[in-house]
Amino acid sequence: MIPFNKPYLTGKETQYIEDAVKLGKISGNGDYTKRCQNYFEDTFGFKKALLTTSCTDALEMCAILANIEKGDEVIIPSFTFVSTALAFIRQGATITFADSYSNNPNIDATKIEALITSKTKAIVVVHYAGVSCDMDTIMSIAERHNLLVIEDAAQAICSKYKGKALGAIGHMATFSFHETKNIISGEGGLLAINDDRFVNRAEIIWEKGTNRAEFFRGEVNKYGWVDTGSSFLPSEIIAAFLWAQIENLEDIQRKRLEHWNRYQESLKDWSDKHDIKLMSIPDYATNNAHMFYIICKSEDQRSKIIKHLKANNVLAVFHYISLHSSPYYQAKYQGKKLTNSDMFTNRLLRLPMFYELDVTEVISKILMYG
């Protein structure tokens, strides 16, 4: 069976973990953590980068930093992973779900302004499949209404919007290194801060509400409890693993893009014939080949393709049951429909995508359908 995802190991992971163990400091915020954080700051232009134990955790830090309280409203796309909403729900927010574009699962920027009320505090955008949202429009709406913009860039490492790295545009952003993402550490994430106002507090929240990071830099002579927070930082063992991945980031991206381009070229005629749409990348965005998906003409057609591929030992999967239609949220939801989000729930299909993928094999199996 060709799996949908296979975590790629660069070969240096265990060597760096061994090194971290030998260095004798295996809790968080050590040498490997700093190396990773410096890399992200230098490469992508974040003001401050903090490794976290997951993207979910990084989103929780954003909700705390944004001072989200009971009664505050946060605008979030419905077509996303649970964590995007969960982090804000835990702080007591009311979620206002936004629809996708009809030809792109990202939040429809032209529909955001109508959702803003006097209680709205933040807009959380998700760069689905690593493809940028319309950030100029979103940032100018936020500025007009004095709102924070948080980028859920879990899938968006190395992607750009008009030449600028995703994650460096909003006030804060989050990334994931879960084993299904482009670079991985098993579980793992990153908080990127781009607004000076949040840098110091982010470090405190990260370290259980203490000013320990300042203490270790010698900026204060004792440390203690100064704010809310949690243990959001990963151990050096995780950071050492991630460093091996970072060292191979360019190679990983090159390989994934090769697969992506093969899919796009080889499936063109087949998709036309079956009334299926392939991914399209807006002019303002670049492609990081996090994912290759197709939009089937119906839910029924999608089921048939999944079945066909399974019979040919290829695993293709779909995801995101629109969050507004989830059992957890349904009770609170106003009953409005989000047509495009629901359409992607029913018709989007993801094809296998990972470093060691035999894309020729998968394509040949797909072309056997119909």
Ligand X SMILES: *Cc1c(COP(=O)(O)O)cnc(C)c1O
Binding-site member from 56, 185, 288, 345 for ligand X (CB under 6 A): 56
**126 is a contact residue toward ligand X (CB under 6 A):** yes
Binding-site member from 154, 165, 314, 349 for ligand X (CB under 6 A): 154
Kindly give the pairing relationship between strand 160-161 and strand 148-152.
unpaired
Nearer to ligand X, 3 or 370 (CB): 3
Output the six-digit token pair for 283: 């002019």
Binding-site member from 10, 29, 37, 54 for ligand X (CB under 6 A): 54
Query: Residue 121: in which H helix or E strand, if any?
Result: strand 120-126
**245 is a contact residue toward ligand X (CB under 6 A):** no
- Shortest CB 327 distance to ligand X, Å: 19
Which residue, among 111, 120, 105, has the nearest Cα to 282 in the 3D structure? Answer: 105
Residues contacting 79, CB < 8 A, separation 6+: 100, 105, 126, 128, 320, 322, 323, 340, 341, 344, 345
- Letters for 188-207 (x = contact with ligand X by CB under 6 A, - = none) are -x------------------
Nearer to ligand X, 77 or 229 (CB): 77
Can you state the angle between helices 249-266 and 236-247, rounded to 10 degrees?
60
**182 is a contact residue toward ligand X (CB under 6 A):** no
Nearer to ligand X, 53 or 211 (CB): 53
- Shortest CB 54 distance to ligand X, Å: 3
Per CB under 6 A, the segment of 86-94, 151-159, 160-168, 259-267 that binds ligand X is 151-159
Q: How many residues bind ligand X (CB under 6 A)?
A: 14
Residues contacting 227, CB < 8 A, separation 6+: 201, 204, 205, 209
Query: Any alpha helices (H) in the chain, and if so which ranges?
Result: 13-23, 31-44, 55-65, 82-89, 135-145, 199-206, 212-216, 236-247, 249-266, 268-273, 299-311, 327-330, 339-347, 359-367
**106 is a contact residue toward ligand X (CB under 6 A):** no
- Letters for 59-88 (x = contact with ligand X by CB under 6 A, - = none) are ---------------------xx-xx----
CA distance 309 to 312: 5
Positions in the binding site for ligand X (CB under 6 A): 54-56, 80-81, 83-84, 126, 152, 154-155, 176, 178, 189
